Amino acid sequence: MKELTILLDSGSRLPLYRQIYEYIRGDLLSGKISAGEKLPSSRLLARNLQVSRSTVNLAYDQLLSEGYLRTVPGGGYYACEIEPGIFQPGTRRERDSGPAGEKAVGKGFAPTGEKAVGKYFAPAGEHRFQALPEEPFCDFSPDGVEWPESSDNAWRKAVKAMLAEERPELFLPGDSLGDENLRQAICDYLYQARGVDCHREQVIVGAGNEYLLMLLFQVLEGPFPVAMESPTYRQAYETFRNLGCPVRPVASDEEGMNLAGLAESGARLAYIMPSHQFPLGTVMPMKRRMELLQWAGQAEGRYIIEDDYDSEFRYKGRPIPSLQGSDPYGRVIYLGTFSKSIAPAIRVSYMVLPQGLMEAYHRRCGFYSSTVSRIQQQILFQFLAGGYFERHLNKMRALYRARNECLLQELKGKAWVRSIYGERAGLHILVEVETAKTEEQIQTEAGARGVKVYPLGAYGIGGERSGKKLLPCWLGSEKPVLLLGYGGLNEEKIREGIRRLGEIFS
Amino acid sequence: MKELTILLDSGSRLPLYRQIYEYIRGDLLSGKISAGEKLPSSRLLARNLQVSRSTVNLAYDQLLSEGYLRTVPGGGYYACEIEPGIFQPGTRRERDSGPAGEKAVGKGFAPTGEKAVGKYFAPAGEHRFQALPEEPFCDFSPDGVEWPESSDNAWRKAVKAMLAEERPELFLPGDSLGDENLRQAICDYLYQARGVDCHREQVIVGAGNEYLLMLLFQVLEGPFPVAMESPTYRQAYETFRNLGCPVRPVASDEEGMNLAGLAESGARLAYIMPSHQFPLGTVMPMKRRMELLQWAGQAEGRYIIEDDYDSEFRYKGRPIPSLQGSDPYGRVIYLGTFSKSIAPAIRVSYMVLPQGLMEAYHRRCGFYSSTVSRIQQQILFQFLAGGYFERHLNKMRALYRARNECLLQELKGKAWVRSIYGERAGLHILVEVETAKTEEQIQTEAGARGVKVYPLGAYGIGGERSGKKLLPCWLGSEKPVLLLGYGGLNEEKIREGIRRLGEIFS
């Protein structure tokens, strides 16, 4: 455990907890405390410093919320990874940033010039992840996708097709919703592939789901309470919180969001992923879907956000039609993205609003230009209309299925594999591990072997940091659970990655 | 050396430095002082006028900052080249119009917003606008820009340059701030063109100013009260309101936002356009800039948003350096866009945050991927790095200057033209009309003739819809004032458009 040398000045204008905070922060930035080191418990530190424990907790909480420290389920505070700052001491800005500095962050403590290294913190909500020193050999990221050369060539074809024509109008402002031909193509695709029932005038093309949620916030005149499952898609959670929406974590069972919990939550909006819940992989059966739709239909202003992020990829059974397609009340807001079906860097998502919300959209948001450039929209349109997208999807389904099978094959019969969840769809699976180690330890030891894994605990929201309390009963296990994404890994990498991971438990 | 005849009126409501300024400016515009002539030193003039030297310096500094005067290494003030003004010297208008008279701005409702008006409902605040049945023959939109074939070819070159390379990484997620090479290129441009002092790690590339304001809202943990001038850039106003920020309209005078009004407003954020207030075209002199910076430095969490959207286009005098460049407190948030300098459909804007806010950005917003696709970012980078952008800007300056002169020529001596503001910069001018008709009537009758004009009244915010109450004294006129944008109109269209507009008043 790290020894701390902290000299408190009872005469200082700085409150004691603030002095403790400054000492520890300083040691972290200067490297005196290095990433992964364990800090003394608040009880111990309080005793040594002869201050109340709540004083120490105040300092620790602040360091936690600012991403300097992280906790682990077993308890204890650990230093987070911090990369060296890019601002050289002595630059004009840094010297002068004093006045601005000490106040800049609103609620959080003010960053001084040096604190700009905060840039390199893990994104909010990922404090428990340790950035690896360099590219891991094998990154089981659930966000990984493959971009095969054939598709790359197809994309270039689409670009050339777009360039071939004289299109000066592409440099004039376009429709706020997005280009009409692209919206029609998305409509057609959603109807045949997902049974989504909409007109192109209900489709909004935007640069990513998070941006579309920011628009939705404005259409629905937020802030409003949002019900989310736990664990869930953290980025949507953080977006709602940034916008000032109170997020009510609702327990989910093996059929998805718990209705009683939803009713109690007092939420106006329910954010769900009925076709393939992230990260659990739950598929919501018809009965539960109908109950949810009824909940929405029962009161004015209730809506369901159906995030259909990876429904393109199912390797067994029929695709599950969208919730939107069976909504009799016009209360489902459908969200989809090309980030998984094509690539994250495309930055094109789409939102289908109920007809009843279009007037509000145009009144409040109609003046926004689409956040996707028209050139980008037309490249994508060519990719869809040219049949490239369909071919790409078919190719990807086969490729991802093979990787999925390869991964399951590798896990099969391993003593450390306690159980596997969500194994026949999407781009990741869940593995419950038979071990005494914590998710934290596994992540660190795997990282040391060049393998990056993602602990389920980090996707929990609300009350308990790990969110375990809210996990479905069938996943309430205290054993570590890992997300293993395989979209971006070829089969050799998968085999070697699992072999290295296994070493930790042998 | 030029002899100046200046009669100061100690009883005037105009401060002495202001009277000196007006005299010299008047003589410059009327040609009494011709280009290249040397003016008396501030010491000499102060002695002759029996005022303090600092009073004279104030007047000289303002004339300098507005490009009327220049200094030479040896010392001394010289008159700059001024194109023959269409002012009628001696009219009250000219005397009082002050600096604003010389700077105009082209910014208004997004044409997409206008489109939506046709299809659906008017976005909030646009009720006074009437959607035209079909494309007008001549649309004096302040958002109009030209996209010449030469630039179109250059853009295609940039696309091809980007396609030529094997860049599979462009399909992987990029930096949340935007690609590093693009941010560096923007940094370099801002430093040399606008005197913006920043590191590329402070630059955020985003899909449009409105999106960047949505990010800023989250960085500063909104909602917070925002002070805006009236009239102002409506889209920023609507964005703040959509996000739940109370907007406090602050009166502006001929030097820009009124400091007393700002202090009273209790706002935490001041949104201004110091180089070119939209739509009035005011240029904020140094003194007012310093006062604003002090306001920001005086209290925790105060920031100034400097929207520098069209500073590329000035047809006379030196460009006015950015406010950000002279900010000692790190309280200026700088906003810029390529929508005017290239084209709206590019959908690329940038925000320079004070270093003191970067930690908050990364903690709260670091998990957002850039809303601009990496392909788009790299096309733009090629366009900048390849020198295409600079050539494009030079071409545009010449083109817009010609259109500007053509428009002024057409208006010259027309009986219905009472006065003109902001005629030497940006992409639109203001015309005060001598008529008994209302702005709405003019808009309707012009529309019937296929001419679309934009009444100043519609850009007012707060209390009185027209915002007249808040207009600077020198523009308090009850006569209709029209915005005439010319960026997207060739000279024939301008001539015919003005001819048709004139019919209304004959």
| Least CB–CB distance from A106: residue in B172, B360, B374 | B360
C-alpha distance from A99 to closest chain B C-alpha (Å): 6
B163 contacts on A by Cβ (under 8 Å): 156, 159-160
- Range from A305-314, B199-208, B367-376 that averages highest in pLDDT: B199-208
Q: Residues in chain A with pLDDT < 50?
A: 83-133, 463-468
- Six token digits for residue B425: 């910069």
Which amino acid makes up residue B174? Answer: G
Angle ∠(A159,A160,A164) on CA atoms, nearest 5: 125
Which tens digit of pLDDT belongs to each residue from A360-416?
A: 999 999 999 999 998 889 999 999 998 999 999 999 999 999 999 999 999 999 999
Q: Residue B308, SS3?
A: coil
Residue B420 and residue B504 in contact, taking contact as beta carbons nearer than 8 Å: no
* The pLDDT value given to residue A160: 83
pLDDT 10s digits, B381-394: 999 998 999 999 99
Tell me, what DSSP letter sits at residue A425?
A: B
Give how far B105 is from chain A: nearest CA, Å. 19
Top residue of A367, A371, A382 to mutate, by most chain B CBs within 10 Å, is A367
Evaluate if residue B130 carries a pLDDT over 70.
no
The residue length of chain B stands at: 506
Q: Would you call B153 helix, strand, or coil by DSSP? A: helix
Q: Is the pLDDT of residue B306 over 50?
A: yes
Name chain A contacts of B342, Cβ cutoff 8 Å.
171
CB A107 to CB B367 under 8 A? no
Question: Residue A36, Cβ neighbours under 10 Å: how many?
Answer: 14
Q: Which of A363, A369, A371, A379 to mutate to test the interface with B (most CBs of B within 10 A)?
A: A369
How do residues B449-469 score in pLDDT, each as one tens digit?
Answer: 999 999 998 888 865 433 445
Task: Give the span between the Cα atoms of A260 and B82, in whole angstroms.
Answer: 75
Scanning every residue of chain A, which has its alpha carbon at the shortest distance from the alpha carbon of B121?
A363
Q: Which residue stretches of A53-148 are H helix?
A: 53-65, 92-96, 98-101
Tell me which residue of A275, A112, A438 sits closest to B360, measured CA to CA: A112
* A366 → closest Cβ in B120, B343, B357: B120
**Which pLDDT does position B174 carry in this prediction?**
84
Q: Which residues of A touch B238 (CB under 8 A)?
A: 364, 367
Q: Could you tell me if B81 and B116 are in contact, meaning their C-beta atoms sit under 8 angstroms apart?
A: no
**Is A487 strand, coil or helix?**
coil
What is the nearest CA distance from B191 to chain A, expressed in angstroms? 14
Which of B234, B367, B372, B378 would you mutate first to test chain A, the one with the most A CBs within 10 A? B367
- Residue of A103, A118, A359 with shortest CB distance to B358: A118
Q: Specify the pLDDT at position A114.
A: 28
Please tell me the predicted confidence (pLDDT) of residue A66.
62
Give how far B26 is from chain A: nearest CA, Å: 40
Give me B255's structure tokens.
């030097």
pLDDT of A493 reads 96
Helix (H) or strand (E) holding A189: helix A180-194
Find all residues with CB under 8 Å of B35, minimum gap 6, and list them: B79, B80, B81, B82
How large is the average pLDDT for residues B467-486? 74
Searching chain B, which residue's CA lies closest to the CA of residue A155? B163
Spell out the residues 6+ positions from residue A384 whose beta carbon is closer than 8 angstroms to its own: A182, A185, A186, A189
- Tokens standing for residue B212: 């960047």
User: Rounded distance, CA B18 to CA B15, Å?
Assistant: 5
Using CA atoms of A456, A458, A464, A470 in order, give the dihedral in degrees to the nearest 10. -30
Contacts of B462 by beta carbon, 8 Å cutoff, 6+ apart = B230, B247, B248, B249, B470
Inter-chain CB proximity B244 and A222 less than 8 Å: yes
Contact between B430 and B280 under an 8 Å Cβ cutoff? The reply is yes
Helix (H) or strand (E) holding B337: strand B332-337
**Res B89 pLDDT > 80:** no
Rounded Cα distance, A169 and A47, in Å: 71
Chain A environment of B368 (Cβ under 8 Å):
208, 210, 235
- Among B156, B173, B297, beta carbon nearest to A99: B297
Q: From CA A379, how far away is CA A384, in angstroms rounded? A: 9
Q: Which residue of B has its CA nearest to A99?
A: B329
**Is residue B97 scored above 80 in pLDDT?**
no
| Residue A223: per-residue pLDDT | 96
HSE toward the beta carbon, residue B220, CA cutoff 13 A: 27
| Model pLDDT for residues A403-427, shown as the tens digit of each residue | 999 999 999 999 999 999 887 889 9
Q: Are A345 and B373 an interchain contact pair (Cβ–Cβ within 8 Å)?
A: yes
pLDDT score recorded for residue A69:
80
If you count residue pairs, one on A and one on B, with CB atoms under 8 Å apart, how many are there? 280
What pLDDT shows up at residue B133? 41
Contact yes or no for A168 and B156 at CB 8 A: no
- The C-alpha atoms of residue A376 and residue B278 are separated, in whole angstroms, by 30
Record: contact A368-B112, CB cut-off 8 A: yes
Question: Which residues lie closer than 8 Å to A259 by C-beta, 6 or more apart?
Answer: A288, A291, A292, A295
- Torsion sign over Cα A109, A112, A116, A118: negative
Mean pLDDT of B206-217: 97
The DSSP annotation for A295-336 comes to HHHHSTT-EEEEE-TTTT-B-SSPPPPPSGGG-SSS-EEEEE
* Residue-by-residue DSSP string for B249-299: EE-EETTEE-HHHHHHHT-SEEEE-TTS-TTT-----HHHHHHHHHHHHHS
What residues contact residue A301 under an 8 Å CB cut-off, 6+ apart?
Answer: A220, A268
To the nearest whole percent, how much of chain B has pLDDT over 90? 52
Interchain pair A358, B120: CB under 8 A: yes
In B, which residues are within 8 Å of A100 by CB distance? 297, 329-331, 354, 356-357
pLDDT (0 to 100) of residue B30: 74
Evaluate if residue B213 carries a pLDDT over 50. yes
Closest of A175, A163, A202, A208 to residue A186, by C-alpha: A202
Q: Which residues of B touch A211 (CB under 8 A)?
A: 207, 211, 214, 371
How many alpha carbons lie under 13 Å from residue B153 in its C-beta half-sphere? 4
Which value does ipTM take for this structure? 0.73
- Cβ density class B71-98: b for 16+ within 10 Å, e for less: eeeeeebebbebeebbbeeeeebbbbbb
**Residue among A86, A91, A345 minimizing CB distance to B174:** A345
Q: What is the residue whose two structure tokens read 């029929």? A: A318
Q: In what order do the strands lie in the sheet with A349-352?
A: A203-206, A349-352, A332-337, A303-307, A269-272, A226-229, A247-250
d(CA B339, CA B347): 6
CA A249, chain centre distance (Å): 16
- Whole-number pLDDT of residue B377: 93
Q: Which residue ranges form the domains of chain A, and what is each CATH number?
A: 16-135 (1.10.10.10), 139-145+391-503 (3.90.1150.10), 149-387 (3.40.640.10)
Q: What's the pLDDT at B471?
A: 61
